[in-house]
Structure 1
Amino acid sequence: MRHRTGRPLAAAGFATLVLMAAPVAQAASPTSEGRAEWRGWLSDSAGGLRDGAERAIILGGALLYQNRHTVAGLTLGCLAGGAVGATGAVAAGAATGGAALPATGPAAALGCALGAAAGGAMGRPLDRPME
């Protein structure tokens, strides 16, 4: 069974970049005195940026909804694994009189990575029940 997590995420990232790189209308518009007035990036005269941002938000929300169990598994796995790694390193530090305490950060990072991998693997089949 082959998982294709990278393809939808890469496609969403590419689509977001394309939408955000769309040409932006001029943000300044002439006033009655002939001067340009600044109205902000998301004003009516900068409609291209607003439309691109709205499309990116909708696309990101749809992608997150389709992969919600995987994202939740990654997040919860990272939190649990990091806590276990840090707790183990602190316990080793207490047992060695503080000599193992510098290993707390790397142990928490490794626990986070391993927990995220396990949580993502558990959440992925829930997102793709027909595969």
Structure 2
Amino acid sequence: MKRYSPYIKKYIREITEAGYTVNDSGSHISKCIGCYEILITDLTVKSLFTKIKKVLVWIKNKETRVIEIEKLYKHELLPLPFHKIDSFVQNAIADLGVEDTDVRTVKEQKVVRDLDLNIPIPKINVREIPVRDIRV
């Protein structure tokens, strides 16, 4: 039997119906929409007197590996219903201009590859300075 974090355990039915997959550790869920990946992490902390519930939502561009949107939900008494987090994700994806389809939508970008790490880097204008003009 898999162990889930308290938030994911409470809303597991809604999470699976929305198309999210639960990570092996049981504290992360993820979903891919177009060229974006949604990562939701449960950061619930139990203390002696209270239980502080935190849920972190990341929307990451898979092509550039950049986190586009990051939001932290924090509640002390009742956990935030999952449908509110899912509606935030749907609205954020709609604002980014990507449709929620299974077909991958890729925008054209001119990208230069880093030779050492093989990471796509956006092309920028670089000013060249002769070596003799550099002072330390």
Pairwise TM-score range, normalised by the shorter structure? under 0.3
Greater RCO structure (CA 8 Å; 6+ sep): 1
Question: TM-score of the superposition, structure 2-length normalised?
Answer: 0.25
More helix by percentage: 1
More strand by percentage: 2
Question: TM-score of the superposition, structure 1-length normalised?
Answer: 0.26
Structure 1 or 2, whichever has the larger Rg, is 1
